[in-house]
Structure 1
Amino acid sequence: MPLKSLIAIVGPTAAGKTDVAIELAKIINGEIISADSMLVYRHMDIGTAKPTFEEMQGIPHHMIDLVEPDEEFSVAMYQSKAEQLIDDITRDGHLPILVGGTGLYVRSVIDHYDFTPPAKENRLREELKSEAARVGAEAMHRKLSEVDPESAERLHPNDLRRVIRALEVYYQTGKTISEYQYIRKEDPPKYNLKMFGLTMDRQLLYKRIEQRVDLMLEKGLVDEVKNLLKQYETWGTALQGLGYKEIVRYLKGECSLEEAAETLKRNTRRFAKRQLTWFRADQRIHWLNMEHFENKKAIAKEIKRQMAGDLLTT
C-alpha cells in the first residue's frame, strides 16, 4: 500500500509560513494542518498571529481553536489528532500541508514518536513536589537543566508540573523525556514526505519580528491579555506563550509597556534562533531563501515545481 503524501512547511516565527502555505494550497488542492502549539488555544488571537477568516482565503485550516486557555493540551494529543486529519484529508482527495514552527509537534507527526509515558511513581513524585515546595520552582528548573537541558530549554521555570514530570521520567528510566519518547528511529517512513524550510537574512527576520510585535500592540494585544486575565483564573501552559507572559508583567505593574514590548521582541528573536537551530539539524528539509523570490506566490510555485513527479503523482 503506497504511503500517504504529506508536505511540511517549517521555519522560524514571522518568516511567512502561513502565507506561503495558503498560496500553495490554492494551486495543489491542499488543506493546512497547523503545527503551532499556541494556535490550539481559543481567544488567543492577536498574540499568536492567528490567521483570520479572511486571511485563510477559503483554505481549510485545522488544529486551531481546539481548547480553552485554562485547559492542558499535550503533544500526544496533537499527534493523535493530526495523524487522523492526514488520513481524512487524503481520503477526501486533498493534500495535507503541515505548517508551523513548533519543532516537536512537527516531528511527532513525521517521525515515530511514542508518547506512552512510564508508569507514574507516586512516592518519587511526592518527593519531588516536597522538594519543590522547599527550594522553589526555579531551583527545580535548574535541576532539570543539569540532567535534561533540552527539556529545560523548552519548559518555562514556572511550569512546575511538567518540570517535575520530566525529572520523574529521568529518575525512573535513566533517559530524558525526549529520549524516552523518540524510540523508533529505525522504523520505515510514516509518509511520502516533502519538507520545505523558509529562511531569510537574520537581520531581515529580526526586523519582521519587531514589526509584528508593533502590529500586535496596535491591534489590541494589551486588551486581549486583559480580557483573558478577567475570564480565566488560571491559564495552564498558555500563560507562558510569547506575547502573553510579557504583557502580563506590564498589567501587573512590573514594567512599562515599552519595556514589555522590547522584552517581547528580544524573546521572540531568541525563540526564532532556537527554531532555526532545531530545524537546521533535519537534513530532510529543502531550504528556500525568501529573498530570492519576488513574492509568496513565487515561493509556492517553486515548492510545487520541486514536488512535481513526486507527491503530486502519488
Structure 2
Amino acid sequence: MTTCAKSTTTTRPIAIVGPTGSGKSALALAVAERLGATTPVEIVNADAMQMYRGMDIGTAKLTLEERRGIPHHQLDVLEVTETASVARYQQSAAADVEAIAARGAVPVVVGGSMLYVQSLLDNWTFPATDPAVRARWEQRLVEVGVAALHQELARVDADAAATILPTDRRRIVRALEVVELTGQPFAASFPEIGAPRWDTAIIGIDWETPVLDERLAKRTDKMFADGLVAEVGTLLARGLRDGVTARRALGYAQVLVDLDAGGDGSAAREPTFVGTRRYVRRQRSWFRRDHRITWLDGAESNLVEDALRVWRDVPWNM
C-alpha cells in the first residue's frame, strides 16, 4: 500500500477519470468554477496525447478560451518528436499537484490515460530496464512487425496485451522486456491498489454504452470537420513521423495511413471512430477494477454536486 501524507480538507486533490468522450474536461471545469468562489483550483492534465504541442483537434484539447482562466498544467509540454514517458509524467505531475496544494488551491487531475493516472495516484516505482534485452525485442519488432509482436505478448501475458494497443510498439516492447527480466506478468510490476496518494478523491464518469457511442461518433465528426487532417499536415512539417508516441495517437495514426495510401485523409474517419470505441473498452476494463473510484452517470443533471460530495465526504484511512 502506498503511504503518503494526508492533505487538508481544503486542498484535497480530486481526480476525474473515465473513458474517452465521457465529459471529464467539462466536469473538471464545472467543479473548478463551483469551488472557485471560495477556493482556487488548478487543473493537472492526465491525457498523454494532450501533452503534445499542436495536437489540439485530435485530442479534444481545451482552447485557452475554453479553460476560462483556470490554470492548466501538463498541457503542451512536449514536441511531437519527443517520446512521452509515464515515469517523467509521474515526476512532473506530482510536483504540480504538491505545488498547487502548497499555494492553498485544490488540484484537479483529469484524464483517461490509464497508466498516467495510476502511476501518479499510486506513486509507482518502475521496473529496471536492460538495454540489451530491450534491443533484442526492438530487433524482433523490426523482424516480425508490430501485430505479430503483440500476438507474442498475448501468448506470454494476455492481460498486458489486452490493455496495450496492438499498434503501440514502445509499450509492447517494454512489456516483453519486463516479463523477460522479472519472469512475471507485466502487471506484477504495478503496486497494489491502496489508499490513493494525497488522499485524492477519485471520481469516474461514464455513460450507457449506446449513448457514449453516439457521443464518440459526434466527437469524431467534429474533429474532422474542425480540421484534423490539416492539423496532421501541419504536424508532419514539425516532425510528426519522427515521433515514437505522437504519430500513433488515435486519429493521427489513421489519417497518416490514409494519406500514405494516396487519400485525402477523409477515409480515416471511420477507423478513428472504431479505434476509439476499442480504446474505450480498454479504459473501462482498467478503471473498473479500481475500487477507490466513485462512479457517476454522465447523464445525471447534478454531476457537480455529486462530485463535490465525494470530495468532501469520502476520505480514505491512510
| TM-score for the superposition, normalised by structure 1 | 0.88
After TM superposition, the structure 1 = structure 2 runs for residues 124-139 of structure 1, keeping only pairs within 5 Å, are 124-139=133-148
> What do the CA deviations read for 1:237-260 (whole angstroms, capped 9, x no partner)?
111111101111121126675532
1:146 aligned partner = 155
1:103 aligned partner = 114
After TM superposition, the structure 1 = structure 2 runs for residues 146-225 of structure 1, keeping only pairs within 5 Å, are 146-157=155-166, 159-180=168-189, 182-183=190-191, 185=192, 189-225=196-232
2: CA distance, partners of 1:35 / 1:251: 30
1:58 aligned partner = 69
Deviation, 1:136, is 3.3
Q: Which amino acid aligns with 2:312?
A: A
Checking the alignment, whether the CA contact within 8 Å between 1:156 and 1:240 is kept in structure 2 is no
2: CA distance, partners of 1:64 / 1:250: 28
1: CA distance, partners of 2:48 / 2:32: 21
Deviation, 1:176, is 2.9
Deviation, 1:155, is 4.0
After TM superposition, the structure 1 = structure 2 runs for residues 231-246 of structure 1, keeping only pairs within 5 Å, are 231-232=238-239, 233-246=241-254
Does residue 13 of structure 1 match 2:20?
yes
After TM superposition, the structure 1 = structure 2 runs for residues 41-56 of structure 1, keeping only pairs within 5 Å, are 41-56=52-67
Deviation, 1:35, is 0.8
Of the structure 1 ranges 275-284 and 35-44, higher mean CA displacement relative to structure 2 is found in 275-284
2:305 aligned partner = 301
Task: Find the partner of 2:124 among 108, 113, 125.
Answer: 113
SS of the counterpart of 1:81?
Answer: helix
Report the CA distance shift for 1:90/1:14 in structure 2 as closer, same or farther (over 3 A): same
2: CA distance, partners of 1:225 / 1:153: 28
2:288 aligned partner = 280
SS of the counterpart of 2:50?
Answer: coil
> Percent of aligned positions with the same letter in both sequences?
37
Deviation, 1:81, is 0.8
> What do the CA deviations read for 1:59-82 (whole angstroms, capped 9, x no partner)?
111111011011012111111011
Q: Which amino acid aligns with 1:82?
A: A
> What do the CA deviations read for 1:117-138 (whole angstroms, capped 9, x no partner)?
324152x444434444443333
2: CA distance, partners of 1:277 / 1:107: 14
1: CA distance, partners of 2:67 / 2:248: 26
2:275 aligned partner = 267
1: CA distance, partners of 2:173 / 2:309: 47
Checking the alignment, whether the CA contact within 8 Å between 2:114 and 2:283 is kept in structure 1 is yes
Of the structure 1 ranges 159-168 and 101-110, higher mean CA displacement relative to structure 2 is found in 159-168
Checking the alignment, whether the CA contact within 8 Å between 2:170 and 2:244 is kept in structure 1 is no
| Uncovered stretches (5+) of structure 1, i.e. residues with no partner | none
1: CA distance, partners of 2:308 / 2:23: 17
Checking the alignment, whether the CA contact within 8 Å between 1:138 and 1:158 is kept in structure 2 is yes
Q: Which amino acid aligns with 1:203?
A: P
1:38 aligned partner = 49
| Uncovered stretches (5+) of structure 2, i.e. residues with no partner | none
Aligned-residue RMSD, C-alpha: 2.3
Q: Which amino acid aligns with 2:306?
A: E
SS of the counterpart of 1:55?
Answer: coil
SS of the counterpart of 1:14?
Answer: coil
Deviation, 1:109, is 1.3
| TM-score for the superposition, normalised by structure 2 | 0.87
Of the structure 1 ranges 278-287 and 186-195, higher mean CA displacement relative to structure 2 is found in 186-195
Q: Which amino acid aligns with 1:18?
A: S
> What do the CA deviations read for 1:210-235 (whole angstroms, capped 9, x no partner)?
11111111111110011112221412
2: CA distance, partners of 1:158 / 1:268: 13
SS of the counterpart of 1:304?
Answer: helix
